[in-house]
Amino acid sequence: MALTKDHILDALRGVMHPSGEDLVARGCVINIAVCDDQASVRVCMTQGEPNTPQPEKAQLTRMGSVIDATVRGAASEQGIANLQLITEFVDHGGNVVMRLSGGKVTTPESKRPEQDTPQNKDATGVPGVKHIIAVGAGKGGVGKSTVAVNLAVGLARKGHAVGLLDGDIYGPSLPTMMGLDAMEQQVLEGALQPFYVHGVKCITMGKLVDTDKPLIWRGPMAHGAFNQLVERTQWGELDYLIIDLPPGTGDVPLTLAQSVQLAGAVVVCTPQKVAQDDAVRASGMFESLGVEVLGVVENMSFFIGDDGKEYDIFGRGGAQTMAQKLGHPFLGAVPINMALRSNGDSGRPSDNFDPKTAGGEALPKALESMVDQFEAQVTLAQMGKGASKPTLSIS
């Protein structure tokens, strides 16, 4: 058995806010992260009441002790006897009011560094799009585009209206991975018409330039091209717009992340230490912009051979441990097999969700779990910002 975020969330429904509602129903639970025998819970006691003063230290300490005991009880039911739990109380700005471990205060009041620099005030949203999500990575070659594509397709398979923007100006992957090679880009009344494949609306610079010529652009040209893709595309009504960012933390991804109002970001990493180091920098980039990191995906977590045997080529679990240390949710581990490579090269990402064409059940289960965890974190993030709140109807 293993402790999950759902176990903790269910347990916290039994912890009452002074208002009489439980913490979850009131929207006070901002974030939950779990990794093996380590967990963290972030709570805003004044959620929905920005002008209400924060509770006194003694009251927060008592509430922290109740949360600690409740979560440990849920962990014990899952066979975890010595849970390492950190509970953070934050204000509406995300500043840490109090941090507790084992129900005891471990640090004085502190401010989350990512809140020092809010996301670019000039950044704008996209009309008709509810959530704009960036998928980034600290370095190339970790499968960032693979994760972005499968996340978009997985969300579409669950009934969401999804768009996918190939923001990797210099190395666009969508023409190959989404099977767009034989299609022509259409422009209607000055607006780019996105391709609709695998249930996803997608647009890519790869269909606007010669594929056999290198794209030699300086930063401002790349920024302008990206803005054109965002602003001139006729997206229509979307639940999610997934943006596949260029790798790294340089000028281009930094500016692209600032140019639109992001609902959050997903960081992709392999289990390798060198990839983790770069992923930490990518996470820091988003945090410095005030963009919430919704979670970390461990891509190429392990290799599944034709014999069905699993091989930990890069050392499974490294990215999950990194996510826990950073206090970010872990969205899941995605394996690699021959089918994933083949489906990506042939532009058939939907086949990754069918065991018959995905080399077995491991890959589809991993991708579906990643999508489920992503949806849960988006919901929690929106609750934390006061944008949504669960309702209870009694009849």
pLDDT exceeds cutoff 80 at 170: no
End-to-end CA distance of the chain: 36
Q: What is the pLDDT at residue 102?
A: 65
Say what the pLDDT of residue 199 is. 96
Tens of pLDDT, residues 48-72: 787 788 888 888 888 888 998 899 8
In the predicted structure, residue 115 carries a pLDDT above the cut 50 = no
pLDDT at 331: 93
Query: In terms of pLDDT, which residue wins out, 103 or 390?
Result: 103
Provide the pLDDT for residue 333.
94
All domains of the chain in start order, with CATH: 5-111 (3.30.300), 129-384 (3.40.50.300)
Is pLDDT of 122 > 60?
Answer: no
pLDDT tens digits for range 181-212: 889 889 898 888 999 999 999 999 888 766 55
Has residue 114 got a pLDDT over 70? no
Among 162, 139, 132, 131, residue whose Cα is nearest residue 149: 162
Higher pLDDT, 20 or 124: 20
Q: Which two tokens stand for residue 130?
A: 């509810």
**pLDDT value for 335:** 95
Confidence bin at 250 (pLDDT 50/70/90): low
Is the pTM above the cut of 0.85?
A: no
pLDDT tens digit string along 357-375? 999 999 999 999 999 999 9
Per residue in 218-248, pLDDT tens? 445 555 666 778 888 999 999 999 999 887 7
Using pLDDT thresholds of 50, 70 and 90, give the confidence band for residue 259: confident
pLDDT at 352 over 50: yes
Checking if the pLDDT of 134 tops 80, the result is yes
**Mean pLDDT for the chain overall:** 83
> Picking from 192-196, 254-258, 288-292, which range would have the lowest pLDDT averaged per residue?
254-258
